[in-house]
Amino acid sequence: MSTIKTNTLTGTTSAGSINVTGEGGSNTTNLQQGLAKSWCHMQGSGTVTANDSLNIASITDTALGRYTLNFSTNFGNANYVCVCGMSGNDGTTTEGRSQMIDDTPATSQFAFRQISGTNTARDDANILLALLGDLS
């Protein structure tokens, strides 16, 4: 088995595009397209903060259960996808949770609303999201 160590990978056809052969051996997938470009595990109650994140410059707490993620590096367009993950409190969540878009997506930020199963805005201790798309 060989080991490749490098700090930078650059595609030969296009500098920002590298294809990888998939598990089946015949189809390829684009490496850059398959990576999350931003994600956040945030504390939504009390002092809102990112517990850990990628490409999140700051979080704006706009109202009860409403937040805006401000990106460190903008997306290339506003057609990215937000994969809303799990949310709730530390072992005490008793009803379902969901997130929804709270404003028109922008290349520099994403606004969302956190609600409970009874459609009530919630500031939960743990909110987990990932965003996929092209960076600028």
Model confidence over 70-92: pLDDT tens digits?
A: 999 999 999 999 987 888 888 77
Amino acid identity, residue 19? Answer: N
With helix as H, strand as E and coil as C, how does 106-136 read? CCCEEEEEEEECCCCECCCCEEEEEEECCEC
Most confident of 9-13, 34-38, 110-114, 132-136: 110-114
The per-residue pLDDT for range 100-109, each reduced to its tens digit, is: 999 999 999 9
Whether the per-residue pLDDT at 52 is higher than 90: the answer is yes
pLDDT band of residue 9 (cuts 50, 70, 90) is confident
